[in-house]
Amino acid sequence: MSTFRELLSHTKANITEIDFETGQNRLRTEPATIWLDVREADEYENGAIDGALHIPRGYLELQAEQKIPDKNTQLVVYCAGGTRSALAAKSLQDLGYSKVASLTTGFNGWKDKGGKFQVPRALSPEQRNRYSRHILMPEIGETGQLKLLDSSILLLGAGGLGSPAALYLAAAGVGRLGIVDFDIVDSSNLQRQIMHNETTVGELKVDSAKRALANLNPDIEVSTYPVRLSSANVMDLMEKYDVIVDGCDNFPTRYLVNDASIILQKPVVHGSIFRFEGQVSVFWPGQGPCYRCLYHQPPPPELAPSCAEAGVLGVLPGIIGSLQALEALKILLGIGDPLVGRLLTIDTLDMSFRKLKLRNDPDCPTCGENAKVELIDYDQYCIAPNMKASAT
C-alpha cells in the first residue's frame, strides 16, 4: 500500500519530464512530435497547444493504440499542471510507447509563460449528442462531423429522390443544403415524396421542404431556389456547393447538369427510377466517366422513359434517394469507394442489385480528347407539368 504522493513520486522517477524551455525547443525543432492533451473536454475546448491530439485521461488506454499506432512516435503529454500527464506518460510507457515525455508546467504554465496556443474548434454539447452515432465511428469522429457541418450539397429536385436524400443529409448534419424545384406540392406526390405532407399541398415544394428540414435539424442552413434549371442559372447555382445530388430524373436536366459539372469540376450523384427499377452512379469529373460517355446525346422525346406516365412503386425512390445521400456523404468525408465509373442497378421485383462498369469514352463530346463544353437547353419535353410528376 502506498499513498498518492508516493505513487506520484515513484511514477515521476520512472518517466521523462521536460520543462517549458525544452518544450518550446521541441515544438520548433521536432515538428513530427505529437503533443497529447489528456485533459477533460471542457478544459481542452478553452485552449490547447497548437495541433495537439486530444485524448482525455479516462480514455487514454482505450484509444491510444488506435490514434497513435506507431509506438516509436515522439510524444509530449500534457495536462493542466503536470500531474495527470505524468501518470498518463507512465501508462503509455507500459503500453510500449518508447519516446514519451511529460510537460512539467502543464498547459497552465505553458500559457502563463507565453507559449503559443489556440482555441480548438469543437462541436457544442448539443451537437455532440445529436451526432453521437457518427462520432463513435473512428472513420468519422468529431473531425468528420465538423467536416460535414462545413460542407454543402445542392439537391436538384424536391420530389421522390430529393425527399429522402434531403431528409437524410439534413439529419446527418451537412451544414448547407440548397434545393432547386419550381413545382408545387400535389396530393398525388405524397405516395412517395415523403418530405411533403397533407398540410403543405399547394405550397412550393422548396418551402415545404425547408420547413420539414428545419423541423428535423435546426443546426443546418437551407437555401431554396424555386426556379427551372437552365443554361442561364445552372453555373451560378452549382458553383456554390461541394456536391450535386441530381434527383430531377429527366433528360434535359441530366445533360445540362453533366456539362456544367465538367466545367465546374464538381461531383454529381446521379439517381433515376422507372416503375420497379432504379439506378445510382457518381459522375465525378477527372475521376471517372461522365454521363455523356455513356450516351452522347439525349434520346428522342418518344423514347425517353421518364416522359411517359410510367408510374413508380412508392418505396423505390426512398431506396435510390437514400443511396444518393449516402454516396454524397462518402464524397464529403473522403471515405470508402464512391460509385465512380460504376452504375448500380436495382430491380426490386427480384431484388437484384447489379454493378455495371462504366468507361471513359475518348470520343465523349464533353470530357473526351476533343471535347468542347457548351451548355445546351434541350427541349423541355420531359417536364410538362402533367408529365414531370410521373417519375420523380
Q: Which residue is nearest to Zn ion (CB)?
A: 364
Report CA-CA distances (Å) from 259 to 215, 235, 291.
35, 10, 9
Q: How far is the CB of 267 from Zn ion (least distance, A)?
A: 14
Give 92 or 293: the residue with its C-beta nearer to Zn ion. Answer: 293
Q: Which long-range contacts link 326-331 to residues 24+ away (Cβ below 8 Å)?
A: 326/168, 327/269, 327/280, 327/282, 328/153, 328/165, 328/169, 328/174, 328/243, 328/245, 328/269, 329/148, 329/169, 329/172, 329/174, 331/242, 331/243, 331/267, 331/269, 331/282, 331/284
Pair 342, 355: CB distance under 8 Å: yes
Element (H, E) at 303: none
- Considering the complex, what minimum distance in angstroms separates the CB of residue 294 from Zn ion? 8
> Which CB, 183 or 361, lies closer to Zn ion?
361
CB of 381 to Zn ion, least distance (A): 23
The residue among 84 and 266 lying less far from Zn ion, judged by its C-beta, is 266
Cβ-based nearer residue to Zn ion, 105 or 366: 366
DSSP assignment string, 210-246: HHHHHHH-TTSEEEEE-S---TTTHHHHHHT-SEEEE
The three-state secondary structure class of 35 is strand
The rounded distance, in Å, linking the Cα atoms of 273 and 279 is 6
Shortest spacing between CB 362 and Zn ion, in angstroms = 9
In terms of CB distance, is 85 or 261 closer to Zn ion?
A: 261
Nearer to Zn ion, 344 or 364 (CB): 364
Q: How far is the CB of 213 from Zn ion (least distance, A)?
A: 33
Smallest gap, in angstroms, from Cβ of residue 254 to Zn ion? 13
Interface residues with Zn ion (CB under 5 A) are 290, 292-293, 364, 367
